[in-house]
Amino acid sequence: MTLFFQQWYGELLKLFARRRTYIGFGAFIALEITILLLIKKFGMGPIQKAIVGSGQSFEHYFSAITVASTVMSFSVFLLGALFLSLVAGDIVAKEGEDGHMRLLLARPVSRFRLLLLKYLTCTGYAVFLIQFLAWSSFLLGVVLRGWGGGYFAIVPEVSIVAFYEWGPGLQRYAWSSLALGLSMTTISSIAFFLSCFRIKPAAATIGALTYILVDFILRTSGFMDSYQHLLITKHMAAWGRVLAESIDWPLVWRGYAVVFAVNITLFTLGYAVFESRDLKS
């Protein structure tokens, strides 16, 4: 087991040694600063109307947590999908393309173990990137609004609107950011699965991004209202239910059961494809 964690640590070092790994962090910081400057200049717009329309004090609920949650909701899906696909689509295909995989398999390590280490690396990166987005947004929100106030939580995808005081709100924000990170591992899993084929890393990235965007468009267009259970973004949205004042746990567990089942299936299929490839000749 110690050797397994040493090998995983090596994969993480290899991941963070690549410059493209940090593109997502830089892009999120730039977007956060831009959005916060716009909020400071023009206000919260629809968020302000929703708070006031609910009969609550805007000044009280216009807090660092509300700002951070707004920034995260604006940026996490599109930018998160892009950079998670970029990293996960590269993690197997790039080493296969460069010939590094032959060197790795020359050592006494099974293909399953090698692939499992890489899968854990890219899914761990997904959770870490979302946590970085959540807490860097929160810190910038503290700079803008200071400490304290309320938290206005709104997730239109699952019809959640809730008001919290600072302590409970910060706790719900932390739980929702972790749940969102787990949801986003599905995007990494799709890109990882495609990366196991004999294709270019860019093709795996574009394929995963295309799939998740088509899934999202079909879900929001209304054409598949009766078949939304077949769309993965429907189940990924289970993270938003954590923000409800009274959490519907059966729906949360059902959503994550599908997310984890999809992740396991994609890893298994990716391993089957990878196992059938001739990498040593």
Please tell me the predicted confidence (pLDDT) of residue 33. Answer: 86
User: Within a domain: residue 281?
Assistant: no
| Contact between residue 172 and residue 164 where contact means Cβ atoms under 8 Å apart | yes
User: Within a domain: residue 87?
Assistant: yes
User: Within a domain: residue 271?
Assistant: yes
User: Within a domain: residue 106?
Assistant: yes
Taking the chain (281 residues) in runs of 10, the rounded mean pLDDT of each run is: 79 83 87 83 79 85 89 82 89 68 64 88 93 92 87 87 92 94 94 90 90 90 81 91 91 94 95 78 54
Block residue for tokens 């299936």: 265
- Domains in the chain, number: 1
Of 147, 118, 163, nearest in space to 14 by CA: 118
User: Within a domain: residue 133?
Assistant: yes
CA distance 169 to 181: 18
CA distance 25 to 229: 32
CA distance 128 to 132: 6
Whether this prediction's pTM lies above 0.75 is answered by yes
User: Within a domain: residue 262?
Assistant: yes
User: Within a domain: residue 145?
Assistant: yes
Other beta carbons less than 10 A from residue 56's beta carbon:
14
| Contact between residue 176 and residue 247 where contact means Cβ atoms under 8 Å apart | no
Q: What is the DSSP letter of 45?
A: T
Tokens, residue 160: 């959640």
Of 232, 254, 230, nearest in space to 241 by CA: 254
Please tell me the predicted confidence (pLDDT) of residue 1. Answer: 66
Backbone angles phi, psi at 152, to 5 degrees: -100, 110
User: CA 24, 25, 30, 36: dihedral to nearest 10 degrees?
Assistant: 120
Please tell me the predicted confidence (pLDDT) of residue 62. Answer: 87
Host domain of residue 153: 2-276
User: Within a domain: residue 163?
Assistant: yes
